[in-house]
Chain A
Amino acid sequence: MRHRYGNLLALALLVGIVAASVAVAYLRAG
């Protein structure tokens, strides 16, 4: 169902945000 896609999209967004944030924090603090 389309709502499952919404859940997956939100999860993918969370993973993307955390990955991008870790990368930025690493580059900044590194």
Chain B
Amino acid sequence: MRDARPSSPRGLTDTQWLLRGALGIALYASLVIAPVAFMLLAAPPEARTFLRELSVSLAFAALAVLGLQIVLTARLKRLKAPYGVDAVYHFHKVVSFVAVALVVAHVVLLVVDDPATLELFNVLTAPVRARFAVLATVTLFAVVALSWYRRRIGLGYEAWRWSHGALALVMLGSAVAHVELVGYYVSGPLKRELWIAYVVLWVAAIAWARLVKPGVMLRRPWIVEEVRPERGRTWTLSLAREGAALPFEPGQFVWLHLGASPYAMTEHPFSISSSAQRTDRVELTIKELGDFTSRIRSTPVGTRAYLDGPYGQFSVDRHSADAYVFIAGGVGITPTMSMLRTLRDRGDRRPLTLIYGVETLDEMTFAEELDGLARELELDLVPVVSRPPDGWEGERGWIGEDVLARHIPADSAGVEYFVCGPEPMMVAVSTSLGHLGVHASQVRYELFGLV
């Protein structure tokens, strides 16, 4: 009777989460299909050729998808809760390719239908409506290409965030201008209202994420109290509240604005590593991986910070069980650390296993504290070291099926698995757990490197 057991402090059962998730997907799909269906409604304009109608229909769906991209990333906690934020961001990424495919199809079908359409690509002679179409298409390609190749072309995260937002706005604005100037399908009743409603939804989502939420954050500042070095080029940023406390579930993450206004687009997502039993002091443990994370070590004590969150469903509080197995790779230990510290503070006596993959023992973040936690909790700590020292008798190499088989409970009933680390590790662990008879519904994932 797993479903009858509340799996979160909000009292939602697994079935209720599933229903909420299904409802969200149905709503999303309806919003994408609505403009297509509206082409048939309320005194549609005179029909044109099949290819032209198909082309226009695909483009309307593409515009609906692209507008909803704003809503997907607008930090709407309740909307994302059933899926997990990383899954929503992943969908945001893949669905952008769907939109590109639809836009390409739109253009190709128009040209096939009437080759004279090609003349509209000459922006020097084309009418304004076509110029907007070209601008929307070019900016769409630019948004997708910059996101895809960001790391390869060495574009910094903050510069990318700015360009992503600005190009997306130009793209949506040009697309709406194109639709309005063509005017064929927005002249009738209901249809113009539909697109006005969509634009209002986009603007509301932007206003929520960029004005309302930062306004709330501004009233709840945090102060950097300590910047503590950890093993493995990793730093713990300890923040004390100046405003309201931050109640969170262990394993969740926040968007951190450090030394900048919450209105500036400089935030980065990090898992909370401290115990959820203390809400007036929050610790984030950050590995030096990129331009921002490499500056963490030199953050002066007293720097002001703002936290947007908490987000995520990667938490023991969301998934009740008789026993837990945590599988962490590298700095993927941080959400697990928060869960272990919280379970210790709550005096939890359930059996726990931590399988922790690290390069070397020297780089094993939290090594000493984990030894202590192994004594305080019913915790079986299994370090898996890829480059172990001489004489190492523990597990070595990667977290493979053999390692998992030796350490996970023989009977998986009532056990929940939490896996956090780099993507290749998570894919491998996911496959191995499946081979070992662990059902996919018992495994939770958190991917770091969200954006």
Chain A residues with CB under 8 Å of chain B are: 1-3, 5-7, 9-10, 13-14, 16-18, 20-22, 24-30
CB closest chain-A residue, reference B28:
A13
CA distance A25 to B50 in the complex (A): 5
For chain B, residues 1 to 59, give those with C-beta under 8 angstroms from any C-beta of chain A.
Answer: 25, 29, 32-33, 36-37, 39-40, 44, 47-54, 57-58
B97 on the A face (CB < 8 A): yes
Q: Is the CB of A21 within 8 A of B36?
A: yes
Determine chain B's interface SS by DSSP, over half rule.
Answer: helix
CA distance A20 to B50 in the complex (A): 13
Q: Is the CB of A10 within 8 A of B91?
A: yes
**Interface 1/0s, chain B 79-122, versus A by CB < 8 A?**
00001101100110011011001100000000000000000000
Closest CB in chain A relative to B444 CB, distance in Å: 9
B36, B48, B51, B426: which contacts A17 (Cβ < 8 A)? B36
Q: Is the CB of B54 within 8 A of A21?
A: yes
Closest CB in chain A relative to B20 CB, distance in Å: 15
For chain B, residues 117 to 145, give those with C-beta under 8 angstroms from any C-beta of chain A.
Answer: none
CA distance A10 to B87 in the complex (A): 12
Q: Is the CB of B53 within 8 A of A29?
A: yes
Determine chain A's interface SS by DSSP, over half rule.
Answer: helix
Closest CB in chain B relative to A17 CB, distance in Å: 4
Given contacts A18-B58, A25-B54, is CB(A13)–CB(B95) below 8 Å? Answer: yes
Q: Is the CB of B33 within 8 A of A10?
A: no
Chain B residues with CB under 8 Å of chain A are: 25, 29, 32-33, 36-37, 39-40, 44, 47-54, 57-58, 61, 65, 83-84, 86-87, 90-91, 94-95, 97-98, 101-102, 426-427, 430, 445, 447
Q: Is the CB of A20 within 8 A of B57?
A: yes
Q: Is the CB of A24 within 8 A of B91?
A: no
Given contacts A10-B91, A20-B57, A22-B54, is CB(A29)–CB(B101) below 8 Å? Answer: no
CA distance A17 to B34 in the complex (A): 10
Closest CB in chain B relative to A11 CB, distance in Å: 8
Given contacts A6-B91, A10-B95, A17-B61, is CB(A24)–CB(B37) below 8 Å? Answer: yes
Q: Is the CB of B102 within 8 A of A17?
A: yes
CA distance A22 to B48 in the complex (A): 14
Given contacts A16-B29, A21-B54, is CB(A7)–CB(B94) below 8 Å? Answer: yes
